[in-house]
Structure formats: C-alpha cells, structure tokens
Amino acid sequence: MRTQVMMLDHDPTVTALACRPVELLWRGRGGKTVSHAPHLMARLADGSGLLVDCAGPSGAGRRLVRRAVHVEAAAAAAGWHYRLAGPPPSAVETNVRWLAGYRHPRCAQGRLPQVTACFRQPLPLVEGVQLLGDPIAVWPAVFHALWCGVLRVPLERVLHERVVAVASRTAAQR
C-alpha cells in the first residue's frame, strides 16, 4: 500500500489522497452482510474520485477479487473510478521512490524556471546539470523537476545521469 500511495502522490492528476476513506456494505450470498473498505481514495483534478485496492506482490487474493466487482460497481454508481492495483514495474517503483526524496519544494531552490529553459530540447541529465551550474546545488532541483513533472524521462528504464530528459509541455506553458 505504501508503494501505491507514493505512485498516487507522484501522479499529477491526483489532488488529494486518503487511506480507507469509506466502508461499503452489501448483501452477499444467503443475505449475509459483507463489508469492505478500499485501501485508498484519490481525488482527481477533474473532480472525480478513484478508489484503489492494493494487491500484494503475489497478486490479489480470491476474496479481494470477488469484492472488487462490488467496489467497482459502487464506484461507478458514484461517478468514480476503481483500480485493483498490483505492484508497478520494478524500475518504475525504484525511480519514483528515489525521486520522492526530492518531492519537497525546498529542493527546487527557486531553479525550476532555469531547469525548464535548459531542458526545452531533449538533453542527457548530466549535460543539463553541467550547463546549469554547480552540480551539488543543481541536482536536487533537477530531481524535484522530475518528481513534479516539470521534466520528463522514461521511468520504465533505470534512472541514471545519461538519461535524456525534456521539459514537459505543461512546464513550457507556465
């Protein structure tokens, strides 16, 4: 669940996040009351909601899969979305976990405009950092820009200094 919280926190369409926000009740077989509290809820930028149940590394158990059908129907009735989320690909999880260490705005050090301008054209990270100044001061701002989506890289590959980054279109419009 911690990984899914981190992934949702990194998602620019997520504006708010809550853990076990609702409990759903329904009648199961034989009239028995069944309850389930989805693991997470995210409020999305478009105003809709997303309920998320987290499957473990070995996948979702039969019980969770059976309940997911009911949760998905309840979410749809409320105009929300539902996701039964498994672990992300290993490289994505590792990269996002690393970048999460730079999520706080203080890491940007007021350098986001310069970082955006430097990476308007695709450029290996290390080359952009060298152009921007002292690497010790610049790397945290570049990592923060990657965290918040100002810069884009393919997170499916291992993040390293030669990865080519580019300013996102939304960053260019800021």
Which residue, 85, 105, 122, sits at the end of a domain? 85
132-138: long-range pairs with CB below 8 Å, 24+: 137/109, 138/111
Residues 61 and 94 occupy one common structural domain = no
Which residue, 85, 110, 129, sits at the end of a domain? 85
How confident is the model over 20-72, as pLDDT tens digits? 988 999 888 888 998 999 999 999 999 999 999 988 777 778 888 888 999 99
Note down the domain range covering 108: 90-172
CB 129 within 8 A of CB 159: no
Residues 100 and 37 occupy one common structural domain = no
Residue 174 pLDDT class (50, 70, 90 cuts): very low
Bridging pattern class, strands 49-54 and 33-36: unpaired
How confident is the model over 143-169, as pLDDT tens digits? 999 999 999 999 999 999 999 999 987
Which residue, 85, 105, 140, sits at the end of a domain? 85
